[in-house]
Structure 1
Amino acid sequence: MTRQAMGEGEQREAARRRSSRIILASAVAVGVVLIVGTALSKEPGGRVTPAWGIAFTLIYLGMLLLARRVSRRTSDEFDLRNSVRAMAFGAVVIGFLYPPWYFLWRGQLVPEPSHELLYVLLILSITGRFLWRKFRGG
C-alpha cells in the first residue's frame, strides 16, 4: 500500500501539533526545574533565597513570553478565541474569590488568603474552561 503525500493543510496541521507538543513539553520541563529549584533553595521559615527568587521570576516570565509567542503563531482563530474567553473566565473566578476572602481575613473571620491556592484555582479554571470550549464547542 502506498502512502499519499500530505497536502499543504495537512502539513500545516502536523507542524501545529508538533509545535503544541513542544510548548507543552517545554512548559512541563520548566515547571519541574522551578519546583526542584524551589525545593533546593528553601530556607528556614519556608522562604527561598533572594537569588532563587530572581531566577524563578526570570525563568517563569521568560517561559510565559516564549510560549505565548510560539502559540500565537501556531493557534488558529478558534483556539485564540477560546484562550481569551478562558482567561476572562479565570479573571472572573479570582474576582469572585479573592476580594471577599481578603476582606473577611481583614475582619479576622477567616485565615489569610492562600496565594498558592488562588494561583492553582486560576490555572485550573482557565485550563478547564479552555478545554470545555475546545471540546464542547462554542
Structure 2
Amino acid sequence: MTRNERGTAGALGEGERALQARKRKVTGTVIMLMLGGGVVGFVTSMGSGGTSFLLAPMAPWLAVAATVVMLVTLSWGSWRFFQVVDEVEVRDNYIASTIGLYAYFAVYFSWSLLWRGQLLPEPQHFLLFCITMVITILAYLWMKFRP
C-alpha cells in the first residue's frame, strides 16, 4: 500500500512517481552498459583458442569491432547515465573516478620507474587496468555506503 502526499493510503505523489521513473532510467542505462560489456567479452572470447581471452591475440577485424562497440557503449552510456542521475550520484562518481585516476598515476609511474631501474618486470597493462578498476569500484562503494 502506498501513501500520497497527505500521508493517506492511495496513489503515489508526483515526486514519488518522478523518483520511480528516474530509477527505471538509471537501471535501464546500467543494463545497457552491462550488455555492451557482455557483447565485447563474448566477441573477444570467440577467438581465444582456449587461452585467456583477455590476453590472446585476435583477428584485426574482431579487435576493431570490439573497440567500436566498447567506445560507443561507454560514450553513450556515460552521457546517458549522467543525464538521469542526481547530483549526489554524480559527486560520488566524480570522486571515485578521481581516486581511481590518482591510483593509476601512482601505480603506473612507480612500476615504470622501478622497471627502468631493473627492479621489476615491464608494467603489465591489463593488470594496471584491473588494479585501477578495483580501486575505483571500492572508492565508489565507500562513497555510496559510508556512514
Partner of 2:6: none
- What does 1:92-111 correspond to in 2, within 5 Å? 92-111=102-121
Partner of 1:14: 20
Structure 2's unaligned 5+ residue stretches are: 3-8
TM-score (norm 2): 0.82
State how many pairs are aligned: 137
- Output the CA distance in 2 between the equivalents of 1:108 and 1:49: 34
1:38-90 Cα deviation digits (max 9, x unpaired) = 11134799211111111111111111111112111111111111111111100
Q: 1:90 and 2:66 equivalent?
A: no
Indicate the percent of aligned positions where both proteins have the same amino acid: 31
1:11-61 Cα deviation digits (max 9, x unpaired) = 121112112221222222222211121111347992111111111111111
- Output the CA distance in 1 between the equivalents of 2:80 and 2:36: 16
The two structures, once aligned, show a CA RMSD in angstroms of 2.2
Of the structure 1 ranges 43-52 and 68-77, higher mean CA displacement relative to structure 2 is found in 43-52
Structure 2 letter corresponding to 1:10: E
Contact 1:42–1:49 (CA under 8 A) maintained in structure 2: no
Q: SS at the partner of 1:46?
A: coil
Q: 1:64 and 2:74 equivalent?
A: yes
Partner of 1:5: 11
Structure 1's unaligned 5+ residue stretches are: none
Q: Which runs of 4 or more aligned residues in structure 1 lie more than 6 Å from their structure 2 counterparts after TM superposition?
A: none
Bigger helix share: 1
TM-score (norm 1): 0.87
Structure 1 letter corresponding to 2:13: G
Where relative contact order (Cα < 8 A, 6+ residues apart) is larger, the structure is: 1
- Output the CA distance in 2 between the equivalents of 1:18 and 1:100: 42
Q: Who wins on radius of gyration, i.e. which is larger?
A: 2
